[in-house]
């Protein structure tokens, strides 16, 4: 007859109470694991998104709010314009590996979203754009027939949304122009999938933005030169330089206040769950005072009793932890969708990444929690004086 | 002359209740010798349970001297007393006090494990057979009658082959037929195996079956 068996059977004595306590822990641990998974997943996806921009530096017009880089990443409007001459001046810098000018424009399309309307995103590019994104392939068609052709290249999702194939015509609301689809890209898993690309000159002409740009993407030969390069551009009037590392920092900052909040809530949930465990185990210790007294009369040492109660607590915590981990895995999709709704910028990859290491850490955490939560009830139980306990209720 | 297992010399146990001091045991002297069968009788509150707890090395004493199994236990703390109890003393209580989540066999196994006595599964089966519970060894306490529960408790007390059995009103919750069965078992174990027994009881008829009757009044043993 092992003490382990005794501990396990004690847990079955009040099944509902045990189950509720386990559930409390499961919820707390589940929330915590989800959040940690989000921490990892979000950063990874953000990094992946930024890597897939292809460039390390983005030159924009001065006065463009810092968050404009974020908007840019997301593909929003409200951007300021800079002169194309800037591009001409820096394009020949020897430190540059690749450089691409872009002109982003948004157009309100009243037919989008089942008639509720929505923004269509256009980007004027030249062939250098694809050089920065070597992973982009055509699904069908190919590059524009001329640098000022009235043609459009569709991102994978944009093509799906617009229901267009190569050769189809597409109407641009607002400017009342009709373009021909020159090609459709394969899915890239980036923001590019939703964009309608046009020749840079075409966008400039169509929106009356002659010799204007919204941004210049730059990839350096040697990333170590990024600071020197940025400093040299300080002299250039009318522009500002944002590194993708800064963009990442800005986005992480935007997210961090939400992170602090949710972490605080999760930690409170864990604390409440731990108090629940202590309470449950203490209650079951008090109910068993007489029995504990008898066990001591039969020869149980303080440590024997301590172990039984401690083990019970640990089992409850580990069960809860395992269930919590499972819960977090099952709820990944749900959490992901909820997060996408509230975040200022949601990258395109998996936002919640629950790794085996994370699950192992969570389980280890619940063992530690059990060890800690069990100490007091176990100590109380082991301190039971047999004579007093056995006479209880007389 | 038989070996003296437990010797109490002017042992006292007092409780303070506000202004008043209750002399639960008042300078009690007693020798428990090997093979003896002692019955403690006396009215409720006369100190029987207190004395059994002291003789069973379950409780500490306030004054006097207590020797058990060759060791002076008078000043021992509870954590030390437990090592004296193991393998030397078996306990039975009025309300059985079986672990209700465990079967008869598991309860007996637990008694063996906690006493740290060498013992095999055979010993567990044997003692369950001795108290006549073999067919019910897989049952939980709540599936047993009072008499069966007390016999299970007896098996649990004896599985570690203790030298002394201490039983506090073991038949207090039993009808006369079941009480009779318990005392028959006591008598048999005492005579056949030389088990030393100290039992507290109200019942004069049952007490009469013991070798020595000790009457208690107000915390003292009266002649
Ligand atoms: N923990 C205690 N605190 C105060 N008084 C106690 C305590 N335990 C026993 N007593 C008192 O000691 C006396 C002897 O009690 P007990 O040994 O239980 O007698 P019996 O078993 O013969 O009924 C009683 O007066 C009882 O009230
Ligand atoms: Mg009593």
Per-residue pLDDT at B12: 96
Q: Which atom of ligand 1 is nearest to the CA of B42?
A: 22
Decide: A321 and A366 in contact? Cβ < 8 Å. yes
Q: Is A297 in contact with B85 (Cβ distance < 8 A)?
A: yes
Are A221 and A191 a contacting pair, CB within 8 Å?
Answer: no
* Residue A261 distance to chain B (closest CA, Å): 45
C-alpha span between A219 and A223 (Å, rounded): 8
Cβ–Cβ below 8 Å for A301 and B111: no
Q: How confident is the model at residue B18 (pLDDT cuts 50, 70, 90)?
A: confident
The answer to whether B82 contacts A6, with C-beta atoms less than 8 Å apart, is no
- Cβ of B201 below 6 Å from ligand 1: no
- pLDDT of B55 > 90? The answer is yes
* pLDDT confidence of residue A113: 67
The residues facing A181 across adjacent strands are A152
A294 in B contact zone (CB under 8 Å):
yes
| Token pair 């392939």 in the structure block, residue | A137
ipTM, two decimals, is 0.94
Task: Report the residue from A6, A302, A386 with minimal CB separation from B58.
Answer: A386
To the nearest 5 percent, what fractions of chain A are helix, strand and coil? 55, 15, 25
Interface membership of A382 toward B (CB under 8 Å): no
Which residues partner with B165 through β-bridges?
Answer: B90, B197
Q: B172-210: per-residue pLDDT in tens?
A: 999 999 999 999 999 999 999 999 999 999 888 889 999
Report how far residue A90's alpha carbon sits from residue A94's, in angstroms, rounded to the nearest whole number.
9
pTM for the structure as a whole? 0.78
Residue nearest to atom 18 of ligand 1 (CA): B49
Task: For residue A294, list chain B residues with Cβ-Cβ distance below 8 A.
Answer: 91, 93, 97, 99
Q: What's the pLDDT tens digit per position in B83-142? A: 999 999 999 999 999 999 999 999 999 999 999 988 788 899 999 999 999 999 999 999
Q: Are the C-beta atoms of B52 and B198 separated by less than 8 Å?
A: yes
From B34, B75, B27, B29, select the one nearest B198 (Cα to Cα). Answer: B34
Question: Which positions in chain A touch B79 (Cβ < 8 Å)?
Answer: 301-302
B61, B54 Cβ separation under 8 angstroms: yes
d(CA A34, CA B173): 57
Residues A328-363: tens digit of each pLDDT? 999 998 888 887 777 766 777 788 889 999 999 999
* Per-residue confidence (pLDDT) for residue A40, from 0 to 100: 86
| Domains located in chain B, CATH noted | 1-80+197-223 (3.40.50.300)
Q: B40: Cβ below 6 Å to ligand 1?
A: no
Q: How far is CA A212 from the centre of its chain?
A: 34
Asked whether the beta carbons of residue A299 and residue B160 sit closer than 8 angstroms, the reply is yes
The CA distance from A326 to A328, in Å, is 5
Report DSSP letters for A234-257, one per residue.
Answer: TTSTTEEEEEHHHHHHHHHHHHHH
Beta strands in chain B (DSSP E): 4-17, 20-33, 37-41, 63-68, 71-72, 89-92, 164-168, 196-200, 212-217, 220-222
Residue B85 makes CB contacts below 8 A (sequence gap 6+) with: A297, A299, B56, B57, B58, B115
Please report residues of B whose CB lies closer than 8 A to that of A9.
101-102
Average pLDDT per run of 10 along chain A, which is 394 residues long? 85 92 94 89 83 84 58 56 89 92 84 72 91 91 93 92 90 87 90 90 92 90 88 84 82 79 87 93 94 95 95 95 95 85 73 91 93 95 93 77
């Amino acid at each position: 007859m092992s003490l382990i068996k005794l501990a396990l059977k004690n847990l079955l004595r009040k099944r509902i109470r045990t189950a509720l306590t386990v559930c409390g822990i499961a919820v707390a641990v589940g929330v915590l694991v989800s959040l940690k998974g989000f921490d990892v997943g979000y950063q990874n996806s953000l990094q992946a998104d930024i890597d897939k921009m292809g460039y390390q530096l983005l030159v924009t017009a001065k006065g463009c709010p810092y968050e404009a880089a974020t908007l840019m990443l997301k593909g929003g409007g409200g951007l300021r314009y800079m002169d194309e001459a800037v591009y001409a001046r820096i394009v020949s810098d020897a430190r540059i590996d690749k450089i691409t000018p872009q002109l982003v424009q948004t157009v309100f399309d009243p037919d989008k979203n089942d008639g509720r309307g929505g923004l269509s995103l256009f980007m004027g590019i030249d062939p250098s754009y694809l050089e920065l994104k070597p992973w982009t392939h055509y699904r069908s068609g190919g590059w524009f027939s001329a640098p000022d052709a009235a043609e459009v290249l569709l991102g994978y999702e944009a093509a799906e949304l617009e229901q267009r194939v190569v050769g189809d015509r597409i109407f641009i609301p607002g400017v009342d122009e009709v373009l021909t689809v020159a090609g459709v890209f394969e899915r890239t898993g980036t923001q590019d999938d939703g964009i309608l690309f046009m020749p840079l000159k075409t966008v400039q002409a169509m929106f009356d933005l002659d010799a204007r740009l919204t941004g210049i993407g730059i990839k350096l030969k040697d990333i170590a030169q990024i600071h020197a390069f940025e400093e040299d551009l300080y002299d250039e009037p009318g522009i500002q330089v944002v590194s993708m590392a800064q963009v990442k920092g800005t986005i992480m900052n935007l997210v961090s206040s939400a992170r602090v909040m949710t972490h605080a809530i999760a930690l409170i949930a864990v604390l409440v769950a731990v108090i629940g465990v202590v309470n449950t185990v203490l209650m079951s210790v008090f109910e068993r005072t007489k029995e504990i007294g008898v066990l001591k009369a039969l020869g149980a040492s303080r440590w024997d009793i301590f172990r039984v109660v401690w083990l019970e607590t640990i089992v409850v915590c580990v069960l809860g932890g395992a269930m919590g981990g499972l819960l977090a895995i099952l709820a990944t999709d749900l959490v992901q969708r909820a997060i996408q709704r509230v975040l200022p910028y949601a990258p395109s990859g998996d936002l919640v990444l629950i790794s085996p290491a994370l699950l192992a850490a969570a389980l280890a955490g619940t063992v530690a929690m059990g060890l800690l939560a069990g100490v007091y009830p176990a100590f109380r139980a082991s301190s039971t004086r047999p004579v007093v306990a056995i006479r209880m209720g007389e | 002359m038989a070996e003296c297992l437990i010797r109490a010399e002017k042992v006292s146990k007092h409780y303070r209740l506000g202004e008043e001091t209750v002399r639960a045991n008042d300078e009690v002297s007693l020798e428990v010798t090997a093979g003896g069968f002692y019955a403690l009788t006396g009215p409720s509150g006369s100190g029987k349970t207190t004395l059994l707890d002291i003789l069973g090395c379950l409780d500490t004493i306030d004054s006097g001297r207590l020797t058990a199994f060759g060791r002076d236990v008078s000043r021992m703390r509870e954590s030390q007393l437990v090592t004296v109890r193991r393998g030397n003393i078996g306990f039975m209580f009025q309300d059985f006090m079986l672990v209700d989540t465990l079967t008869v066999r598991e309860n007996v196994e637990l008694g063996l494990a906690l006493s740290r006595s060498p013992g095999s599964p055979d010993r567990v089966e044997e003692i369950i057979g001795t108290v006549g519970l073999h067919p019910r060894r897989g049952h939980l306490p709540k599936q047993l009658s009072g008499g069966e529960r007390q016999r299970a408790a007896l098996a649990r007390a004896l599985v570690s082959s203790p030298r002394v059995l201490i039983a506090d009103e073991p038949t207090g919750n039993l009808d006369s037929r079941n009480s009779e069965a318990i005392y028959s078992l006591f008598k048999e174990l005492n005579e056949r195996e030389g088990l030393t027994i100290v039992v507290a009881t109200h019942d004069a008829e049952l007490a009469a079956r013991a070798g020595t009757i000790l009457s208690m009044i107000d915390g003292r043993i009266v002649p």
